[in-house]
Structure 1
Amino acid sequence: MSTLSFRNVWVEYGNQVVLERINLEITSGTFLSIVGPSGAGKSTFLRLILGQERPSQGAVLLDGEPFPAEPGPDRGIVFQRYSVFPHLTVLGNVLLGYELAARPFTARLFGTARKQAVEKSRALIDAVGLGAHCDKYPSALSGGMQQR
């Protein structure tokens, strides 16, 4: 089990203090909600978790070690606004990620590589409970389904 620790974390932009004295331990499997008014620092806090932002003071630690500066595949975020391609099916949207990763210029896979990417895509789609909707377009899905 991993623990993400915030030790006396401050984030400042010039003279503006956005976050101050954040001391928090988040263990694997924890469900955490961040609420507050506009401008309270919620997005800044999320950027710290993603590694997109560094604290002005204090430390962010993962299992007691400095948190890696670059986000990797082990971190993700669900955005408020959906980022799906309306002209692609659920399978097409997920498959595109594999195609772009393997072929950044053409975004096309063929033969065995495509078959494996489709299998991986279907497994991910099943894992988030959308297996029965694999061939539907985003317009036929609810907002929550589009986020998944």
Structure 2
Amino acid sequence: MVGGAATAVTRSRRAPLKAVAGAGATVGVGYGGSFAASGRGRVVVPHVSGRLVDGGTARIVDIYHEELNRDGTADRRVRDGYRGRIDEGIVSTDLHRDLFDRFAAVRYYLGHDCPGCSAPAVSRREFNGVALDESVRLAYHDDGATVVPAPL
């Protein structure tokens, strides 16, 4: 697992985000229409990527990737130039703007450990609102997923 002190700081920074994301997800469920499926599991991979387009050729660039190992440790890779800005898995508004200035598209993904689940795209707010190894429920829809508040 990620170091205790860093995790405590990360979780405390995520608490207000969860409240906002939870309220938004609840509204979204009633307003958004149909969800294909949902699954509950631990977040095992938060990932951010950008799409670069150069002369009509597009390529995907990994910006941030963290993966929880079975033994509870985590491997983290941060693209050069972004270390110190995203190391705790939080993408600030300023960094988000900088990423969109550099890349044609930026996607946030959450991989979670549940049978038959994938690593869908989520919003930046939802990406920031969950921590590695946290249990979440994702409701899948056409263009990604939404984090759905679940009772404890």
Q: TM-score range by the shorter chain?
A: under 0.3
1 or 2, which has the higher helix percentage?
A: 1
1 or 2, which has the higher strand percentage?
A: 2
The structure showing larger relative contact order (alpha-carbon pairs under 8 Å, at least 6 residues apart) is 2
Query: Normalising by the residue count of structure 1, what TM-score does the alignment of the two structures yield?
Result: 0.28
Larger radius of gyration: 1
